[in-house]
Amino acid sequence: MDSKDTILSTEGERLEMPQPDNEPKLKYQRLGASVGEVLKEDSASAMAVSERFVVLGTHNGSVLLLDFQGDVVNRFTKHTASVSDISIDANGEYVASASLDGKVAIYGLYPESSASNDSKEVYPVEVYDYKRPVKCVALDPEYNRKKTRPFVCGGMAGILHLREKGWFGDKDTPLQGSGEGPITAVKWRGSLIAWANDEGVKMYDTNSQNRITWIARPSDSPRADLYRCNLCWRSDTTLMIGWADSIRVAIVRDTPRQEILQGKPPLYAEIIAQITTDFIVCGIAPFRDMMLLLAYPTADIHQHEETDDPEKQKRQKARPPELRIIDSANEEISCDALRLHGFQHYQPNDYVLDYLSSEDMFYVVSPKDLVVARERDLDDHIKWLKERSRYEEALQSLREALIRNVASAYTIKGLGQKYLEYLVGKEEFDKAAAECPNILGDDAELWERWIYAFADMWQLQSITPFIPYKNPQLSDAVYEMVLLHFLQNDHQSLVKTIMNWPSTLYNIRSVIVLVEEALIKENDNPILMECLAELYAYNREPDKALEYNLRLRRPNVFELIRDYNLFSALEGRIILLMEFDQHLMKEEEEREKKEKQSESADGDTAQKNSTKSRAKRQSEGPAVQLLVQNTELVPTFLVVRELKENPYFMYIYLDALFHHDPHLGYEYHDMQIELYAEYEYDGLMEFLRTSNYYSLDRAYEICKQRDLVPEMVFILGRMGNNKQALMLIIERLQDVQRAIDFAKEQDNEILWEDLLVYSLDKPRFIIGLLENLGSTNIDPIAMIRRIPGGLEIPGLKQALIKVLQDYNLQASLREGCEKILVNDSVAMVYQLNQAQKHGISCEAELNCSICQETIIRDDLNSTPDPKATTIIFFCKHAYHQQCLLDSESFELSNQPLKPAGGRFGIAPKIRHTTLLRSLGRPPQCPICHEAQHKHKPLSKGKRATGPIKGFVRSRQGSSSSSSLKDDDGMPPMVPLRF
C-alpha cells in the first residue's frame, strides 16, 4: 500500500486524513495545550506512557508530567543534558529518567511531608550518577512494592547495572560487562529483563539470576550506532524486536528438566517470526494480534557508509514517518503517513513510539510534536463512510451496533435523514422513498415533513407506496393532499392509492366531490370512474357504485348486485347491464375465433359456426340471466319499458325470459314473434309451436308481411284452415315431403284426398306419394288406377319397384314376427309345465295362516282329523282346508286322499286339486287377495310365510294396496295330506 499524506490541523485538533479507498484503522490527534508551548522552546527526546499520564523528556534535560490533553502537570529538572529514556513502574507511582549527563533520576509522583513540617509538599527524588552518558533505564514493574527498589540502566559504558537497595547501602550488580558496545535499549517485564547492545539482544531472568538467551544482530543490518534498537514486550514471555530494517519475535519457554540438570538455565528464548522491511523501524507495539510499527521510509537504508564523497554523505530531506499495521504473515493492513512538524529534518532516532495497551492508544513523539493515535471506533467508522457518501453501509453498521448495545453518537433517524438528503440530491427518489420506513420509523412528524418535501419536488408517486396508515397514522390533510396531487397529475396512481389505502384515512365525501368534478371535465374517463366506484363502495353507497361498475364492465358487478340486493338500483341502468353482456359476448367470440383459427384453416366455416352459436348464446349471458331469474325484484314491464328503444336487447331479454319460463311475459309474445322474425328466424317456428299466448291473426299477419311461408302454414294449421295451409305448401313451397308430413300431422281423410287430387297431374308429386305409401292413408291400388292415362311420369318404374320391395319387406317382417311369437309361446308353455311339476318344500314349523295351528302333526294315523287336508298356494301361504273353505265347499271337497293300499300318490292329489278348481268359487290365498276374503289376523309372535322363491309375480298398479295375482297358467294351490 502506498503511503498517504496526513494533514495536521491546528494544535489540539484531530488529524484530517485524506480519503483513501480503504478505511484506516487508526485516528489521530495532536496534543496541544501547554505542551505545545513547551515544544516551541524545547525539543522532545524521550517519552513513556502509563494508565494515568504521559511523561515527556526534552533535550534541555526536563522531565514533563502531562495529562492526556497535553497539559503539563509537573516538571522535573534534575538533568543538564538530553533525556535519553524514561521508564514508569506498573502502578504509575514512580518515574525514572536517564540522561546523557550520566545521571539516572527516579521521581516519586506522590508528595511526602517535608522534614521541617511546613505545609510545602516535597516529591521524593533519587539521583544516581554513573559518570558516563546513560542511554536507557527500566524500573522493576513492582518497584513501588519492593523495598529494594530495583532498576536497571546502561549506556555508553557498555555495562548494564542492576541497582538495588540493601541493609548496607545500594547494591550495584553488573548484568553485562564492558566490551560488547554501548547499551541502547532495555525493557523489564515480570522477572525478565531484555536489553540491546552492538552485538544483539540479551535476556536476564531475575528469578534464577541467569542470562537465558542471546539474539545476535542480523549480519546484513546497518551499523548498530546508526539506528536505535526498539524493544517491546507483547506479553510476559513474548518479546518484539525492531532494529533497523529487521523485525523479530522471540518467545521465552521453559527449559526441559533434564537440560536444567545439565547446567542450562531454566528458561530459553526461541525466534518464532523474522521479517525484513523496506523501511527503518523507529518503534514497535502490539495491536490486537498484529503489530504496529513506526516506520521511517528511506530509499537507501545503508546511506553509503563506506564512501568518502561529501555529497553522498550529505543528509537528504526525510519523508514523513508512517504508522503501519502488519499481520504475522507480513501483510500490510494499514499505512498512515504523519506529517509532523519539521519531519524533513529528522532521523529515525528522533522518533519515539509508546502505547497504552488497555485502550489501544499509541503515542508518537518527534522533537516538535506529540501525536496520539487511537483505534477507530463505531462513530469514526460511520463518519468515514459518511464522508464518502456510503450512507447505506453506515446505516447497516449502526443498526448492527445497536443490536449489540454498542453506544454511538449517531442515531438511525439522524444518519438516515442525511442519507435521504443525499439520495434526493442525486434524484434517486424511488430509492429514497423505499428507505423511509426503515429510517423514519413511527415518527409521524418526520413522515409528514418528508412527504411534503417529496410533494415540493413533484415526486409523491415515489413515496406514496410507503406512506404509513397505521403506526403511525398521519393527519387527514397529508392523505388528502396525496390524493389531490394524483387527481391533478396522475390518475393511474390515484386509483392504485385509493385501492391500497384504508378509507378511514381521509374524508371520503370530500374526495368523491373532487373526483366527480374532474369526471365532468373528462367525460367517460375510465380511471376516474374506477375511482368513484371504489369510493362509493367505501362510503357504503353500493347503488351509486353500481353505475360506474357497469360502465367499467367489471366482472364482479353481478356479485355486487346479488350480495347487496341492488336490484332496485337497476332501474334506469338496464341498458348498461345489457351492453355489459354484449361486451362479454364479444370477448368470448374473439377468444373462440383465435382458437378456431389455430385449429382449422377454414375461416368461413368457423365464422358460420360462431354466428350460429352466438344466436343461441344470446340469452345465456350473465346480465340477462340476472334479470330473468329475479323477475319478482326486477319486474318484466320495467325491463321492457327501458329496452323499448333497443329492439335487439328486447329480443335477447324476451327470448331468455321465454326459455326460463314460457308463461312469464306472455303479454309480450305478439311482440316477440316480430323480434324472432327480425333477429333469429331459426327460433321462430319453435316459439310458434311452444307458445299458446300469441294472437294467431297477428302472428299470421306478421309472417305474411315477411313472406314466411312455413310459419304461415303452421299458423293456418292451428287456425284450422288446413286446406289453405296445404295449398301454400303445394303452390309456394312445392315440397312433396312437407305436404305429406302436414297431412299426416292433421290426420284428415279429406286433406289426403285434396293432396291426391292435386297430385294426379303432377308427376313429381305422384312419385313422392308412391315413395311414401307406407306412411300415408292412401290406397296404393286406387291411387295407381286414378293416374291419367298417357301421363309421362319420370321415375315411375323405380317408384313402383320400391313399392313392391317395401311390400315384400313388410311380408317378410310379419313372417319373422310370427315365427318368433310361436317359439316364445312354446317356450313359455314348457316353462309353465315344468313349474307345475315342482313340489313345495314345507318346514316343520309351518303354521296355518288362519288358525295358526301346526300343519305337520305326529298323531295323524290315530284318529280322523278334519284338518288333515292342507292347501298350500304358490305364494307359500299354507291353510287347513277346513279353515280356508266355507262349509258347503268343504263338504264337497272333503274326499279322503289316502288310497286303499295305505300309500299316498300324486294322482289323488291332482284329482283333488281339479275338484277344488271346479268349485263355484275356487279357493284363493286370503292374504294375497284381501278384497275377496276375510280371515283372522296373525297372532302375535307368529311368522307369516313368504312367497315361494323362483316364481315371478306381477303387481298390478303402483300403490301399496295393489294385489298380487298368480302367474299366468300357474295352479293357485296344491292340496297336501300329511
pLDDT, tens digit, 9 for 90 and up, residues 683-704: 888 998 899 898 988 988 988 8
Q: Which three cell numbers stand for residue 815?
A: 313372417
Residue 463's pLDDT band, with cuts at 50, 70 and 90, is very high
Average pLDDT score over the chain: 81
Read off the pLDDT of residues 597-615 as tens digits, 9 standing for 90 and up. Answer: 877 655 454 444 444 445 5
For the residues 212-226, what does the mean pLDDT come to?
86
Q: Which three cell numbers stand for residue 194?
A: 531484555
For the residues 522-534, what does the mean pLDDT come to?
88
Assign 153 to helix, strand or coil: strand
- Top mean-pLDDT range of 188-197, 331-340, 727-736: 188-197
Q: Taking the model in full, what pTM does it have?
A: 0.56
Q: What is the pLDDT of residue 619?
A: 78
Q: What is the pLDDT of residue 620?
A: 83
pLDDT at 135 over 90: yes
Q: Which residue has the cell 366455416?
A: 605
DSSP state of 165: E
Q: Which three cell numbers stand for residue 600?
A: 382449422
Q: What is the pLDDT of residue 875?
A: 77
pLDDT at 909 over 60: yes
Q: Which three cell numbers stand for residue 717?
A: 294449421
Q: What is the pLDDT of residue 887?
A: 61
Read off the pLDDT of residues 407-435 as tens digits, 9 standing for 90 and up. Answer: 889 999 999 999 999 999 999 999 999 99
Q: What is the pLDDT of residue 748?
A: 67
Task: Tally Cβ neighbours within 10 Å of residue 388.
Answer: 14
Question: Range with the lowest mean pLDDT among 216-225, 553-562, 796-805?
Answer: 796-805
Q: Report d(CA 436, CA 462) in Å as an integer.
A: 11
Read off the pLDDT of residues 561-595 as tens digits, 9 standing for 90 and up. Answer: 888 888 888 888 888 888 888 888 888 888 888 88
Cα angle value 44/45/49 (rounded, 5°): 85
DSSP state of 135: E
Residue 831's pLDDT band, with cuts at 50, 70 and 90, is confident
- Top mean-pLDDT range of 439-443, 745-749, 958-962: 439-443
> DSSP of 803-866, one letter per residue?
HHHHHHHHHHHHHHHHHHHHHHHHHHHHHHHHHHH------TT-B-TTT--BSS-S-TTTS--T
Judge whether 975 and 879 are in contact, CB under 8 Å.
no
Residue 86's pLDDT band, with cuts at 50, 70 and 90, is very high
**φ and ψ at 897, to 5 degrees?**
-95, -15
Q: Which residue has the cell 533505564?
A: 137
Read off the pLDDT of residues 750-805 as tens digits, 9 standing for 90 and up. Answer: 677 666 666 666 676 766 666 666 556 666 666 666 777 666 677 667 777 777 77
**φ and ψ at 109, to 5 degrees?**
-90, -10
Alpha-carbon torsion angle 139, 50, 357, 320, nearest 10: -100
Residue 311's pLDDT band, with cuts at 50, 70 and 90, is low
For the residues 661-669, what does the mean pLDDT come to?
90
Q: Containing H/E element for 425? A: helix 412-425
Read off the pLDDT of residues 630-658 as tens digits, 9 standing for 90 and up. Answer: 988 999 999 999 999 999 999 999 999 99
Residue whose C-alpha is closest to residue 237's, from 249, 252, 222: 252
Q: Report d(CA 450, CA 474) in Å as an integer.
A: 12
Q: What is the pLDDT of residue 511?
A: 92
Assign 199 to helix, strand or coil: coil
Q: Which three cell numbers stand for residue 755?
A: 293432396
Q: Which residue has the higher pLDDT, 480 or 120?
A: 480
Q: What is the pLDDT of residue 113?
A: 60
Q: Which three cell numbers stand for residue 331?
A: 501483510
For the residues 738-742, what does the mean pLDDT come to?
72
Q: What is the pLDDT of residue 955?
A: 37
Q: Report d(CA 469, CA 53) in Å as an integer.
A: 57
> β-pairing, 229-233 with 210-216?
unpaired
Read off the pLDDT of residues 1-34 as tens digits, 9 standing for 90 and up. Answer: 444 444 444 344 455 444 456 788 888 998 877 8
pLDDT at 152 over 90: yes
Read off the pLDDT of residues 294-303 as tens digits, 9 standing for 90 and up. Answer: 999 987 665 5
pLDDT above 70 covers what percent of the chain? 79
Q: What is the pLDDT of residue 959?
A: 39
Read off the pLDDT of residues 33-64 as tens digits, 9 standing for 90 and up. Answer: 788 888 889 999 999 999 999 999 999 999 99
Read off the pLDDT of residues 844-881 as tens digits, 9 standing for 90 and up. Answer: 778 888 888 887 766 555 455 666 678 887 777 888 88
pLDDT above 90 covers what percent of the chain? 35
Q: Report d(CA 919, CA 925) in Å as an integer.
A: 15
Q: What is the pLDDT of residue 445?
A: 93
Residue 901's pLDDT band, with cuts at 50, 70 and 90, is low
Q: What is the pLDDT of residue 373?
A: 93
For the residues 161-184, what does the mean pLDDT come to?
87
Question: Range with the lowest mean pLDDT among 163-167, 558-562, 741-745?
Answer: 741-745
Q: What is the pLDDT of residue 220?
A: 81
Q: What is the pLDDT of residue 602?
A: 52
**φ and ψ at 920, to 5 degrees?**
-60, -40
Cα angle value 735/736/740 (rounded, 5°): 120
Read off the pLDDT of residues 923-969 as tens digits, 9 standing for 90 and up. Answer: 778 888 764 444 444 444 444 444 433 333 333 333 333 333 444 44
